[in-house]
């Protein structure tokens, strides 16, 4: 089994809301002043809006009722909104990013070489190593800062600005709000937290058929495909073989719990294997009940992945609107 990877790819928990329209104001946690032009969006989708000059916003929740709302702004950590029960405008306070990076006195040539090595490692772990990753480009690499030699065992990456990424393989333009990136050199583990917004790359309209084919190949056997399959009422999970630690087949009734509101949860006390197209993944649940919905959205903080699905990175992710 491939070395263990801890990924908080879509950090979230959820609360079912009551209002279709969310109104609020985005404020600085320290100064209590408004934050204009903050991004308010559903993680991993095309859907979102921008706060106005006074920091105010409103957004319709229809179509994303089971998902938390993410609020991000340049120079701030993202905020996850899960409580939509209030009928009044919601006040959202963002915490400024404050990095304490220990300065290391090294020659400029050495610094340049260290940055190049760190950037290669960052892109390998952040974008991935698939064919999609080869055609992914971070447009603002200069905004990324590393801890260099301050901690030889752990590589950390920081950025105040969102990462602007072009995925030329799948035809998406991506905005990624990075909150934390840590790579542990000793065991190859990674801690990645952040939020992502998609746009169609309309500049290459003639390539839509090619994009469609590559998106389908990427989708088959992915985590999104798996959780959408779990949403079906078939006893056998379409397209996947699920095995417990003793290689016994698992079925829908063994790993999925449905509550009285028809919400679905992945629930299994041990790790299990998932096989699709001869590719094997391994997953451990970190919570007793891990929420997911029919679009493939899942509470990523409740899962620990390794194997094929664990190797999938930003370059291999699809928006939840993908059909």
- Strand segments (E) across the chain: 21-28, 39-41, 48-50, 56-60, 69-72, 79-81, 90-94, 136-138, 145-146, 154-158, 163-167, 172-184, 189-200, 241-243, 256-258, 264-266, 272-276, 279-285, 290-292, 303-307
- 248 Cβ partners below 8 Å, 6+ apart? none
pLDDT, average across residues 69-98: 88
As a whole number of angstroms, the distance between CA 160 and CA 76 comes to 7
The domains of the chain are located at 21-94, 108-206, 208-316
Task: Check residue 83 and give its pLDDT.
Answer: 81
Q: What digits encode the pLDDT tens for the residues 100-112? A: 555 444 455 667 8
Report the predicted TM-score, pTM, of the whole model to 2 decimal places: 0.84
Q: What digits encode the pLDDT tens for the residues 194-227? A: 999 999 987 666 688 899 999 999 999 999 999 9
As a whole number of angstroms, the distance between CA 162 and CA 144 comes to 10
Q: Residue 233: is its pLDDT beyond 80? A: no
Strand partners, 274: 242, 281
Q: Coil, strand or helix: which one is 220?
A: coil
Are residues 139 and 162 in contact, defined by beta-carbon separation less than 8 angstroms? no
Instruction: Say yes or no: domain 21-94 is CATH 3.40.50.150.
Output: no
């Amino acid at each position: 089994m491939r070395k263990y990877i801890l990924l908080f790819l879509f950090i979230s928990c959820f609360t079912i809301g009551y209002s279709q329209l969310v109104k609020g104001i985005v404020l600085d946690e320290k100064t209590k002043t408004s934050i204009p032009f903050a991004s308010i969006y559903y993680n991993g989708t095309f859907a979102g809006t921008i706060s106005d000059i006074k920091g105010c916003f409103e957004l319709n929740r229809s179509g994303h009722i089971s998902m938390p709302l993410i609020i991000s702004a340049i120079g701030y950590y993202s905020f996850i909104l899960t409580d939509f029960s209030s009928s009044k405008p919601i006040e959202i306070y963002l915490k400024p990013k404050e990095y304490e990076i220990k300065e290391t006195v090294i020659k400029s040539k050495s610094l340049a070489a260290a940055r190049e090595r760190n950037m290669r490692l960052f892109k390998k772990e952040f974008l991935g190593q698939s064919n999609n990753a080869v055609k992914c480009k971070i447009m603002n690499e200069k905004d990324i800062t590393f801890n260099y030699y301050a901690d030889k065992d752990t590589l950390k990456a920081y950025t105040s600005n969102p990462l602007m990424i072009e995925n030329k393989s799948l035809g998406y333009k991506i905005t990624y709000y990075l909150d934390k990136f840590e790579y542990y050199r000793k065991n190859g583990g990674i801690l990645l937290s952040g939020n992502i917004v998609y746009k169609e790359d309309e500049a290459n309209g003639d390539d839509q058929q090619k994009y469609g084919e590559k998106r389908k190949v990427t989708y088959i056997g992915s985590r999104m495909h798996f959780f959408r399959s779990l949403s079906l009422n078939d006893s056998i999970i379409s397209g996947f073989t699920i095995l417990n630690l003793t290689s016994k087949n698992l079925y829908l009734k063994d790993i999925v719990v449905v509550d009285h509101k028809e919400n679905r949860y992945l629930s299994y006390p041990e790790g299990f294997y998932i096989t699709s197209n001869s590719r094997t993944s391994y997953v451990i649940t970190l919570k007793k009940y891990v929420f997911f919905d029919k679009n493939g959205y899942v509470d990523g903080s409740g899962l620990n992945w390794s194997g094929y699905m664990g190797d999938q990175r930003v370059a291999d992710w699809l928006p939840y609107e993908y059909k």
